[in-house]
Every structure is written in structure tokens, then in C-alpha cells.
Structure 1
């Protein structure tokens, strides 16, 4: 089975000195420019360390103010653009670079699948009106459908699209969504065709205030398919039929279109090439649910239950990290995570929200694709409740009534950052993927100095060693966790004492295992039910001095499939500062209310 797996899965990690200078901690690979920049930062860091401690603290404060100023300047540009009236009257808003902005269409609702389909339909309609025949080769997995036009119609295609769409549309080369967008003109489209036998055409979409929702990543690929050369034979050794077309790039369905296939496509819905009625063997055709765990730490009843449970432990010691307020602090992430799901993963079948009798005031509990699940519904022994840790709660998620066999388990600080597909998380044959971090546990057994997270990971390792005679070193990315309900049910049947022990832990305990977020992946791997996968992923700690700039960069580039924004225990001043940046970032990245929110 072909998979991207770990090959080419490169990671770069940073550390920060006392003055807030960001330095490379280690790298698998890095661009030369970044390496030069890091060397300069190392020299700066060494120079700062020669200064007295008060001077170092002053440098850190100056750096923080500079970050604030950069973010404020970008926000001012964003606010100023939102007041431009001439474009707004035409349903347009400026986005992108401050000096040479792009133009986006303002929309009130958005999901990537619908936007991509509507854009493709508009391209097809434009070509039809302009007298250009076209067909669509459907997608498989994460690949996109392709609009096919014949080489003899190339110049007419470029002229028709340029005349009908105009300069509010943009084009980039095929397979290069990160390239600089160019305005759609006939000359530019012809230039793209000469370079790569096609182009990706798109329109920026944004909310009315100029918050970008999509760009080239949801564009429409147009390919120019040529007639075969006279000497070219098909696999049977005979010349291609007159009127056949040859694909310029590989796709999963067909590299040669026979003339009768082309003709039939004109009369099919969406002018789609007939590939048969069966889904592709690599396609993930089964339903995929999503499970969130959520807590409202401001709820006085929840706080009372937590205090009562702590008091009831008597002299039993609890790790400070296990009850740290940062573990329960909310920035309303769930609202924005659901927005990200609806925007970039609209294929999700149903959302299950697991809570301790809590429901966000803004949530539509009557939504047909949402089910709020109380802890009492999934814990077989209600006497162990209440519990206040993810280890206990996640160990029981596979008990959710009506849960699909394939599902994603998410914390509410995880967000989809751009369009993703089922095949990013599962294979077509039912095998799940998991996403290893480059972080390793280190050697040796669990120690008293280990954090609850590391202790649970080492307990997982001991379990795998005892059960399978193998060892493990990696932990997992804080990303969506693909889960197989049947694997977890099998695990619980084979090891009921492990599940009972973890479920009965009200707070993090040194003997815990992280069943859903880690052990499931290794267990499924040993059963042949899971394999390593790959995500373009970002983890950002709000306590990082450069976090505000990183947020702005992420907002501008939208270059990660998934990102996690974590909140660690920091000072009250930092909490207020980080909350201000995070609230502004989330509202700009995910500006449109989802259907899960009350009107």
C-alpha cells in the first residue's frame, strides 16, 4: 500500500532565549535562508547574554512591544480596507498585500466543497456559452476534479475565460497553489498553458470585512489534453483512435480519453467523464464522524464538582499540572473549531460533543448533524463520575451510541486550516492513519519527575512491550486522532482492567494510559489496522514570545492542514495579552458563523 508515511515528513523546532529571540532547536531540513537567519539570531542571542540581567529584561520588553506594533499595524490595514465603499457596492473587498491588494468576492456562507463545485460549474458554463467543449475527470481522495479542454480549443479557452471573468479572477500554475497569483488575462492564460499544459483559476472569497476564506487552494484546475502524436501507440500496440486525447498529468482514472467517451460526457450531469458506478478502491466511501470533548471551566456547578472531588481525595497527592487552570481555560475555541470543520471538512457525517452535563449557550442542540453526549451515557460505572481529565473521558468515547466505526477525536483547541479530505485520515480499505511527532520519550521507565503526559506515554510503552514484545519511542501530534471503534472495542474486551482503571481516574495519575490519543494507534498498528500518515501541521503555544506574529503569518498563508493553539499556565498579564491576540485571530480566520450556532 502506497502511503506518504514518514518519508519526507520533515520537522523544524524552535526554542526561545530569555530575550525572546527565536532559535532553531533542531531540524530535519531547512531552507538556506532560514539557516542564515538562525545564525544571525544566535549571534544576537550571545550578545544579549553578555548584558546585565536588567538589560536582558528590557530587551525582552522591547521585543514584545515590537511584536505588538507589527500586529497592530496589520490589524489597522485590515480595518481600513473593510471601510472601502466602492468595492463593497459591487460585492467585493480588498485582501492580501497592503500595497497591491487582491480583490475578493464577499460571501455570507462558506464551505470549501461547495465553493469549489460552484467555481467549477461557473467555469464550465462560461466555456459552454463561449462555444468551447469541455469535460470533467472526477476526483479520487484528496485530488481535485479536472476540467479538460482540447488542445485545438486552447486559445479560444483562454480568450473566453479572460473576457467573461475579468481581473477579479486569478490564475496560478498547476500544482503550485503557493505561486504568486496573476490576474486572468488571455495572455497570462496562454503563458500558463505553454508552461504546464493548463492552469488553476480561482477567485478569492472573503467575508464582508475582508477576512479571507479561500484562494488558490480551492481553485479549478483546467488541463489542455492534446491529440496523440502519430507514432504513439496504445498498450495494445495499435494506434490511438482518431479524436483521442492524452492527459498532460497523471490522474487516478484515465490518461487517454477515447472520442466516444468525450462525446458521452457532454450529456452527463456536470459533464463528468463516465468512470462507472462503483467508487474507486482508494476512495474512503464510508461515513466519518467527529468527536469533541469540551469543558466550560467558568461554570460554577462544574467548579463545585471539581472542588468537591479534590477535597474527597484526602491526603492523596495530585500532580499540579493535572489541575492547572490552563488545562480547562476556554477562549471559545469550540465555536471556531466547529466553524473550521464546516469550512474545510464539510464531509463529516455527524458531530458528537462529549461534556459533563454542559452545553455552550450559543450551540444549536437541535442541529441534525450534532449530538450532545453526557459523560453518564458512556461510562459503564457511573460511580466513578465526575472525572476531570481527558485520559479518563477519551477511554470511553467508543461507547457513544450511534458512533460510526471511523471517526476523528479532537480537542477543541485543534482547527482545520484548509480543505482536508477523508483520505487524509483513513485509507479506502478501512485502515486508519496516525501522525507521529518527532518528539521522543527518552530511555528508561517512568520516573516521579515525569509530567503526567510523559508518564502516560511511558505507561503506553510498557503496555506495548508486554503485549507485543515491541517498544516505541514517539508521541503523537496534537491533531485529529483517527479512530476505529471496532479496534477500541477489541482492546476493551481483551484488557477490561486497563479501561476500568483509566476511566476511574478523576485527575491525571501516574498510572494512567492515554488510550484514544496514543495507545489506540500503536495497538491498531500491531493488528494491521493503522499505518503512519502525514499532516501539514502546526503546534503553537500562546506563551511563545513570537506567538502573535506566528498567528498573523498563519492567517496570511493558510498553509497548514491542521493547527493546534495550546494555552499553558502563564502570568495574568500574559493571559490577557494572549487572549486578545487569539480572539482576534480566530475571528479573522473563521469569521462566518457555522450552522451549529444559534442565529
Structure 2
């Protein structure tokens, strides 16, 4: 589309001029854009206009105001001067005294030949002109760059002519609502769009220099006299601190007298105008604003973009819409010099708070990026153009549009505020929306997601993404950025995570730019990756100049996600790597990491698209669809055993069977601790979904019970009654885990390879199938350093079972079992279990028939299977990083807290004790809190 921006004085120094030039430059990347000015006495613009944006002036004057050129006005020079001295017939002097009959002619001629799709006006008088003179086919959008409702005499053309154009945009929601209500049913489309900041590399404050900076016209409206009075106590208590005020204006003499009176001439500097305010804000540790009223001023935006916390009067409109008090700046009562002084003193004395507020301010400033704002304008312009009907006048179009819709204000997509360091990443507590879509799939991250600051790092608030979702989003973000960069990338298969995408090194700069733009969603980080696969210190993707200067051979791309309670973060371990390969002759050559280190350059011309983790990625045909020898290709199921120990019917049966046993049971066989529930199963299943998403199906073996939290339709989970696996009805009901475990291979539909998990066992981080099975299908055995020993006399049932296992293996293989197994998730093979039952039928039958743990039991799934499989060449010894937290000691809280903080174990278990040093309720509370914090998001099988 062709867009024309119309300004009164485009070459002058002003916030409107700078804003429009920035906006035009961003829009010119994708559209035909020009800037037209009504008049100017300057030969060149104060703010440079880029070559991509053509610009012209309709009426040029000399420094004394005499006209020199009037575009399209073919009259003698003396006639120009006469007309320029005559009052305008189009723009009353009360609206804008600079207009004349000469500008009337030039403007009228220009409008008659106007050829654009969208005309953007920037002052109320220009709005009035466009509403009367612009061709009907041209969409007219007016942009307000001041606190509109406080315009004074220039308010009249906005009020009267605003309803005659297609749309009017305001900087603040307050202004938008004010005019929407004022215009009522006559209102045009009302928009709210922020001013943009140039997408340039900005210096940022280190918050250490003892300097406060303010900027603006030296007028009564800016009330710099208030700021000087507020600074006086700061100067007295902190003599190393200085205040700098940039700007000029009629109040300069008055302010200098004030400084002399207060003896602050050596502490407060009046430095005039500066064209490099970005550097000035970055040099400061605090920015100050004392205006009587403000729009969405560039002063605040620029300071925030430099990471400088702003202390401001809470004057009408702008400051309160940009600054969240106590989060990314400080607001004080408008006009209260004492409060302003106290706020400055507090920040001066607290460098850590300055740093935190400044970092949060810099994050908030993401919403001001010119490309972000340009995307919003592009959407608004496109929607308005689509509503243009051939032959329809603008007034008819505006009236029709008004009656076709309900009154509304269109707001920009919001970029959420960073939270204070001691605040949860809380979304609105009243928000009860489901974080997943209607199909149960997690919603993709986007601009609507909150981005907050946690420990100094941007974090996207996660309300439902599981690790596999985050890994997929990182791949998607990377691939989409590379597509934007136009780089001939391809996915490189590798034996394990992370995913790797290869890019020719010649495209490194384009990739850097694309990832910088991708960072607008917030929380995106880059980290260099060493040849050994370890990643280095991550940096924000939009602040990675130093990283790119080092020309890394491989980087990791990831978005940092955190749940609202700040207990679960996803980071670099779920990222996607971009490997930069060098062209060497006809080959593209890179470092090790995937399945090849070189490919012919010619292969890039025949790339195809394939789905990897449900993401469309470019691949090389020769490397696509490969199944690697170190991949597990067979299905793996999971089996859980569980009972509801609070079920009255189950309890009654347990008491009856205990009476029928006729002998004293060992404490371990019938302890309440064996059946106590803290919803461990629920969270163990969550841990499986979070960290082992490759599990095909879960079989939950129960005593005819159903967990209350299980959804009525529970995809991926099958309930299996004890009656469906025990071959003898007289063996039931049973309360013996050894007995239940001896029958698991009878589950109908169970895959050959499966993992058996007790409900007190949890997957603590992402695990791979190859940690449990070899690609050839051999299960891993995780032996414990704990010795079985040679006890005599009374021993716990689990020890007796291990001794019985030893006896069987010793008599058949002549080898002695010495160690137990770790309490982990056990990989098993169904065929080997059938083989064991066929080999030891008496022992299997005896164990199955014991309703409680018994001295004659064998422990099939947690000892016998593993040692038998090792001895027969049907298993391999392996290792996992595991932990065990017994709930009997006084250090339970400390150990659980450490587990939660470090999250560095593959598998861990939380085991109940028959006796504990802590009250049972205290243990219950700690365990439940720990489990909820570790896996906060419900599984897809839950209600």
C-alpha cells in the first residue's frame, strides 16, 4: 500500500516529527511511504529522514519567514509574499496562525493530485483539511501526538472534523475513551496506538552513576521548578549526585535564578537541547518527570528503553499508562514536591532497587519498538482499506461503518508488565480460562502472553505448556526466524536432543537480525554452544551484539518460560541449536553434532519440507526420514499399581483378610504408610507426561477403583482391575504388592516393552527411551550399592524376597545375587516375565496367593527379573541419576526444597516411613506443596 504522512513542519525538532519519521521508516520496509510537509524554513530536517522515505515541502520560507518556494503555485514571487501575509481561508488563525492563503493554494493543489491509499494527518488543522479536500477513495487516519483533551484552542478542529475521517488514533486509553464518549454515535473508528521508538542499538544504564536526568521544553507546563525544589534535599544528603535538565524554552532565565537562590548552580546543569538523548538517558541512574500533564511522551519511553527507572508525577494520561508504580518506575501525587523528593531520595539510596526497576522498564519498552508499532498500524490500515467501496464518499463510508458496528475502542496488543522481584508471575486471579485449546492441545505462545522479569531475565508466563510443547515452540521459533532471514537452512538429524538446524555461515548476519526481531515476543535467549555440546552464558536475543561479534559456530535458541508461581522454568535444555557451516569448495562443512559433518552445497537446492515434532522444517532428501541405529523404535508402555487406601469397602476387605491370615504380620506388610495417599499417583503421571512423552500408553492396575481426579474420558490411560490379571480368583482381594507385581505381564494389550512405576516414583527431568532400553530391546538394570547381606532370624519382607530370588538364581546359575536395585522406574519385557513364570511356577503361585507380604514371596519386577535377565543375556547394566527422600527424618523440608530448586535427577522417589520425627499433617502439607510446585499443570488425563 502507499502511505502518505502529512505534517505541518516535518523538518523541525519535535516529538511529533521524530515519531512520524520513525514510523514512516519502519513502514517503508514493506510499503510505499512518503512524508509531505506544509512548510519549513530549514534546508534540511533536524531529524534525519532515511533515503527509503521520500519527502518534500509545499511552502518553503527563509529564516525571516518570507516565502521562497510554493509547490504547485504558479504566481510571481511578489504575489507569493502578498498571499503569505494574508490569513488562511482554510485554517483559522485560532487553530494555527502559521497557515496563510499561500499555504491554502499549495495545499489545495496538492490534495487535488493526491495519489495514495492511506493519508495520515498529524495535527487537528491538517485533519480538518484532509476531511474536506482528500479524495474520497483515500483512507484518512488522524494521529494525535498530544494529550488531546487538553489542547485548548486547537481542540476545535479535532472535535468538529474528527467524525468526518476514517479513523482517529490516540496515544492513551484515557484519551480514546474521552473522545469516543464525546463523539457518541458520530464517532469514527477510534484507535489507541503507542508512539514508536527507533529500532536502534541502545546503550543501557548501569544504574551506578550518581546522575538524575530530565528533558523537555523549559515551560511552565513541564514544571522543572518543582523538580529543582525536589532535588534540593537529594543534593544536601547525597552531595555526589547531580541533576541534568536538557531542553530550552522561555523559562530558562527563571530556572537559573531559582538555582542561584537555592545554591544549586554547581549541582544542577541546564544543558539545552540534545540530539543524542538515548546516550544521555543511559548515562543516568534515574530519570525524572515533573509535568503538569503529559501524553505518552517520548521522554518516558526513551528513558525506559535505556533501562533507566523513571520517577514521575502521576499527571493525567501518559505516565500512568507507561509506568507501573513500584514495578518499572515510581509515580507520586501530581504536584506534590515533597513526595517527588522522597521518591528520588529513596532510589538514590537503593542501587539494587534502581537496577530492578530499570531492568523492568527496559522490558516494558519492548512495546515501543518501531517494528511492533508498524505491525499494528499495518493491521489497522489494511482493515480500513478493505472497507472502502467504489463510488462511496468518505462521509457515507464513515456513517455506514458507524452504524454497522457497536461502539468500541480498538486497543493495541498489550505487552505485560514485568513483575516486582518478590511477586509471583501471577496472571489475573480472576482469569479462569483454560490454557489449552478445545482439542486439548496447548495454545501457542504469542504477543498476548505476559512477559515478566525474573531474577533479571525476561520470562514468558507459562500457564499450560509442558516441556515437549516448549521444545516444539523453540524449534518453531527458530525455523520461522530462519525463514524470515531467507537462509537456506536444513534440519540435521541427531541421536538425541537438542534439534539442530544448519545454516551456511555466510547468512549469519541475516540470522542475527531475524532472531533479534523474533525477540519481540519476549523471553528469547541465545547461548553459544561448545564442540562438546555444552552451552555457554545465555544472552537476550535482542541484546546479543557481543555474541554475534564472536561469530559463534553454534548457538542455542530458546524461550524462557515460567509458571505464575515461579516454581517451574523451561530453559536451554529444551532449546534448538543453529549450527553455522562454512562453504569449502563444493562442500558445506561443520563441527560434529549431528549424523554428518559435511554435505554437498548442491543438496541445498533440493530441500524438502518435513514434519519434525509437529513442526514443518526444511530437510535434505538424503537425510530425511532416517531411522538411526541408536534410536528406540518399538512402543514402550508404562504400568502403575495403585489403590485408594481411604475407600471404605477396600478397608473392610483388608481388615477381613488380615483377620483370616491367622498370624502376626510384619509391620512392613500391613503398615498404614504402605497405603497412605497424598495424590502421589496423580503427580507421578504428570511427571511421566512432562518428562517421558514417548510413553505410548499407561495401564493403571487397581482394585476396581478409579482416582477421583481422572477424567471420564482419559486418553492414554487404561484402568486394569486386579481380576483381569490374576489367574486365580481365590487370590483376591490382595494387599500384597509382590503378588500384584507377579501378574503384570497378564495385562491385555500391554506392549512387549514396558516400564513399571510405583506411585511414589517420579521422573524428575526429561529422560529418553535409550536410558531404559537398548535400541535392540534389552532393558536396563539399575543396581543399588545397598547390599542384601546374609541376615539370620527376622528380616523385613522385601529382604526376604531378595533372599528367595537369590536362592532360585543360585540353584540354577550358580551365581550369587549381592545387591538390591534402586527404587526407580523399572524397564521390563513381557516375554521374559512369561519365561520366568514358566520357569518358577510354584514360587509365582505362592506369591500370588499371599494377601499380604510374606516371607516366601519373590520380588519379580524389582529384583528377580533384572538379575535373571542379566544372567541370561536379556538385559544390560546401566545407571540413572536418582534420589530417594524418606519421609521419616526431620530434614524432609530441606531435601524436598533442594530437589525442587535443582531438578537434576532423572528419577526420584518419595518414600513413606512407618514412623516419622515430624507430625503427619506437616509431612502431608510439605509433600503436597512440593508435588504441586514441581508439576503445576494438570495432565491431559485429568479432570
Residues 424 and 564 of structure 2 are in contact (CA less than 8 Å); yes or no, is this contact kept in structure 1? no
Matches within 5 A, 1:497-536: 497-536=842-881
Which of residues 569, 572, 575 is equivalent to 1:216?
572
Distance 1:191 1:555, change over 3 A: farther
Tell me, in whole angstroms, the C-alpha distance in 2 between the residues paired with 1:483 and 1:191.
51
SS at match of 1:453: helix
**Which position in structure 1 is the counterpart of 2:885?**
540
- 1:200 equivalenced with 2:556 (yes/no): yes
Q: 1:226 aligns with which of 550, 559, 582?
A: 582
Partner of 1:14: none
Q: Structure 1 residues 576, 191: CA separation in 2 closer, same or farther (over 3 Å shift)?
A: farther
Residue 345 (structure 1) aligns with: 692
Q: Is the 8 A contact 1:94 1:210 kept in 2?
A: no
Structure 2: gaps (5+ residues)? 1-419, 432-446, 611-615
Aligned partner of residue 852 in structure 2, secondary structure: coil
Give 1:362-377 correspondences, 5 Å limit.
Answer: 362-377=709-724
Secondary structure of 1:116's counterpart equals: helix
In 1, distance between residues paired with 2:895 and 2:620?
43
Aligned to 1:63: none
For 2:625 and 2:470, how far apart are their aligned partners in 1? 25
State the distance in 2 between where 1:131 and 1:278 align. 26
Deviations 1:64-90 (A, max 9, x none): xxxxxxxxxxxxx9983234879x995
Find the counterpart in structure 1 of residue 490 from structure 2: 135
**SS of 1:132 mapped into structure 2:** coil
Aligned to 1:418: 765
Asked if 1:256 corresponds to 2:592, the answer is no
Is 1:296 aligned with 2:296? no
Q: Find the partner of 1:332 among 653, 676, 679.
A: 679
Secondary structure (helix, strand or coil) at the match of 2:740 reads helix
Structure 1: distance between partners of 2:422 and 2:792: 52
Distance in 2 of aligned mates of 1:360 and 1:350: 17
How far apart are 1:192 and its partner, in Å?
Answer: 6.8
Deviation, structure 1 residue 581: 1.3
Distance 2:517 2:942 in 1: 40
- 1:544-596 deviation line (CA, Å, top 9, x unaligned): 33322222222222212222111112348532112111111111111111111
Q: In the alignment, which of 361, 374, 379 is matched to residue 726 of structure 2?
A: 379
Q: Offset of 1:243 from its aligned partner?
A: 3.6
Contact 2:525 2:538 in 1 (8 A): yes
Higher mean displacement: 271-280 or 304-313 = 271-280
Whole-Å separation in 1 of the counterparts to 2:893 and 2:535: 23
What is the SS of the residue equivalent to 1:483? Answer: strand
Q: Note the alpha carbon deviations across 1:81-102, whole angstroms, 9 max, x for none.
A: 234879x995236575xxx243
CA distance in 2, matches of 1:318, 1:108: 47
2:515 is the counterpart of 1:155? no
> Would you say the 8 A contact 1:111–1:346 is kept in 2?
no
Moved over 6 A (4+): none
* Mapped contact 1:213–1:590 kept (Cα < 8 A): no
Secondary structure of the residue aligned to 1:464 is helix
Quote how far apart the aligned CAs of 1:138 are. Answer: 2.2
For residues 862 and 788 of structure 2, the distance between their equivalents in structure 1, rounded to whole angstroms, comes to: 15
- Does the C-alpha gap of structure 1 residues 545 and 344 become closer, same or farther in structure 2, counting only changes over 3 Å? same
Change (3 A) 1:190 1:285: same
- Of stretches 371-380 and 267-276 in structure 1, the one that deviates more from structure 2 is 267-276
Aligned partner (choices 468, 483, 495) of residue 113 of structure 1 = 468
**Shift in alpha-carbon separation, 1:570–1:283, aligned structure 2, 3 A:** same
**Partner Cα separation in structure 1 for residue 780 and residue 637 of structure 2:** 15
- The whole-number CA distance in structure 2 between the counterparts of 1:192 and 1:348 is 41
**Alignment gaps of 5+ in structure 1:** 1-76, 229-241
2:548 matched residue in structure 1: 190
**What is the CA deviation profile of residues 491-517 of structure 1, one whole-angstrom value per residue up to 9, with x for unaligned ones?**
111221111011111111122111012
Q: 1:307 aligns with which of 655, 675, 683?
A: 655
Which structure has more relative contact order (CA 8 Å, sep 6+)? It is 1
The TM-score, its normalising length taken from structure 1, stands at: 0.78
CA distance in 2, matches of 1:577, 1:263: 65
TM-score if structure 2 supplies the norm length? 0.50
1:180 CA drift (Å): 5.0
- 1:80 to 2:438 alignment: no
Q: Structure 1 578/265 Cα, relative in aligned 2: closer, same or farther at 3 Å?
A: farther
Q: Which residue of 2 aligns with 1:561?
A: 906
Give secondary structure in 1 for the equivalent of 2:919: helix
TM alignment of 1:59-70, pairs within 5 A: none
Q: How many residues align?
A: 498
Structure index of larger Rg: 2
Indicate how the Cα distance of structure 1 residues 595 and 257 shifts in structure 2: closer, same or farther if over 3 A, else same. same
Aligned twin of 1:71: none
Structure 1 vs Structure 2 CA RMSD:
2.5
Structure 1 residue 267: Cα displacement: 4.7
Q: Which residue of 2 aligns with 1:52?
A: none
Write the distance in 1 (CA, Å) between the matches of 2:453 and 2:684.
Answer: 23
Query: Counterpart of 1:472?
Result: 817
Quick one: distance in 2 between partners of 1:151 and 1:284?
Answer: 33
**Which secondary structure state, in structure 1, belongs to the residue aligned with residue 910 of structure 2?**
strand
In structure 1, what is the equivalent of residue 635 of structure 2?
Answer: 287
Does the Cα contact within 8 Å between 1:460 and 1:514 map onto a contact in 2?
yes
Q: What secondary structure sits across from 2:762 in the alignment?
A: strand
Cα distance per residue 1:273-309 (max 9 Å; x no partner): 3325452222111111100000111111111111101
- Partner in structure 2 of residue 169 of structure 1: 524
Give SS of 1:303's match. helix
The residue aligned with 1:320 is 667
Of stretches 209-218 and 183-192 in structure 1, the one that deviates more from structure 2 is 183-192
Distance 1:151 1:551, change over 3 A: same
